[in-house]
Structure 1
């Protein structure tokens, strides 16, 4: 492949690299994803191995590492990372003797599209239509490489399908209730409250109404202060306040110069 931007799965200069190059964007993306994972009707698959409820924060950083490998690696490296994800899922399916529903895979890609956009617009600026299309294109390409079918073809079509998925695939189950208890156990009461407040800011209405939490966020007025802290280079202190101290190095590693 020639020495051009096309040697990367996600070209240099892409808005996706900008979004996923900031630790706070990633943390907001996965705070929201943590809620939607819990509410998804396929959450029993996350409980099958026991790894998610046993170590939700460790699983978060594991998932982040795969996402960033895809976004920042060269093309071959990104494809290798996607293939490893497929292999892991295939192993779980073989162990359980069943297949993960195709719609569950699409749900994961859909939430990454949605929350990438929402996090950046909440913490940075509004995205243009072309930038939103670019975000969609990256995760659409991941879906194709994973062999997923019935994917929407563009961002506009995705917005309609996303609403349908939220209405059809979310449920406040016993698994969801237990997973939120695990989040609280591993984060502690104060950080857990912060998690819930971020989720209230980030989740779409169909997901938010199922959350086992209050429906009003007091975090909105703080966002402006947080944006200012970025300019003053004080945001690192706030990031470390959100997650336990043992994840300090991982948090710093999320920021890409």
Structure 2
């Protein structure tokens, strides 16, 4: 059977660990909030009413694709496109191509940044592998103007950040919703985590400092994984209603 991401792919290692995926989640939650197309996520009302659930849904789709056979992954991608097509029909407008690319670019960037934060630096070939997997997702969706390689993608990513990110009323409201659904302490963990993985331009727009309190905690957390206490850490800092979803993020590769 042919898999969308090879069984020995670094992408499976990245998306097979809940702690790595949670940092992907944290970074995307920051960048979603300042994307100029965030109004599309507000159109159905699902994002402001359940921002964590909406972001988990995006993560679940990406994870499903990474660990599926080629046919199953392609079917999931096609389904995702149909869902967005229905939203477009209801609104009477088309989601811009650059907005789809932005989400794809988030998955690429935060996959690499989160793994490097918690594990090790990726090789150039591994970064290329990450890019290739998500490039094929974008190609299946029908996105245009996707760079062919990781190196070619880097300047395009920078251009997208500058052109497509903007702080707005949606930004302020979404962060209020994050705080409401997480509570003060977990919200602090979220924002401190964002500082460790988001690009410098995102930090600038969100007024995030370069120093994160989690930079002190991360080495302790890495040690906790060695002595099998990492699950206790996650149970303490994560909402109980998402416990099963978080547990499901761990996959044996």
TM-score interval for Structure 1 and Structure 2 normalised by the shorter chain: over 0.9
The TM-score with structure 2 as length reference comes to 0.97
Tell me whether 125-134 or 212-221 shows the greater mean CA deviation: 212-221
Q: Which residue of 1 aligns with 2:32?
A: 37
Aligned partners of 1:213 and 1:131: how far apart in 2? 29
Q: Which residue of 1 aligns with 2:121?
A: 126
Q: Secondary structure at the match of 2:40?
A: helix
Q: Secondary structure at the match of 1:209?
A: helix
Shift of 1:216: 3.0
Tell me whether 66-75 or 123-132 shows the greater mean CA deviation: 66-75
**1:166/1:206 contact within 8 Å kept:** yes
Please list the CA deviations of residues 147-202 of structure 1 after superposition, one character each: whole Å capped at 9, or x if unmatched: 00000110001111011111111111000110000000000000000000000111
Match of 1:173 among 149, 168, 171: 168
Tell me whether 238-247 or 90-99 shows the greater mean CA deviation: 238-247
Q: How does 1:214-253 map to 2 (within 5 A)?
A: 214-253=209-248
1:212–1:50: structure 2 CA closer, same or farther, 3 Å change rule?
Answer: farther
**1:240/1:251 contact within 8 Å kept:** no
Please list the CA deviations of residues 106-136 of structure 1 after superposition, one character each: whole Å capped at 9, or x if unmatched: 0001110000000000000000000000000
**2:25/2:56 contact within 8 Å kept:** no
Q: Determine if the alignment matches structure 1 residue 186 to structure 2 residue 197.
A: no
Q: Determine if the alignment matches structure 1 residue 112 to structure 2 residue 120.
A: no
Aligned partners of 1:111 and 1:105: how far apart in 2? 10
Unaligned runs of 5+ residues in structure 2 are none
Unaligned runs of 5+ residues in structure 1 are none
Equivalent pairs, count = 252
Please list the CA deviations of residues 221-246 of structure 1 after superposition, one character each: whole Å capped at 9, or x if unmatched: 21111111111111111112232111
Q: Which residue of 1 aligns with 2:68?
A: 73
**1:36/1:207 contact within 8 Å kept:** yes
Q: Determine if the alignment matches structure 1 residue 15 to structure 2 residue 10.
A: yes
Tell me whether 128-137 or 206-215 shows the greater mean CA deviation: 206-215
The TM-score with structure 1 as length reference comes to 0.96
Aligned partners of 2:82 and 2:250: how far apart in 1? 28
Shift of 1:215: 5.0
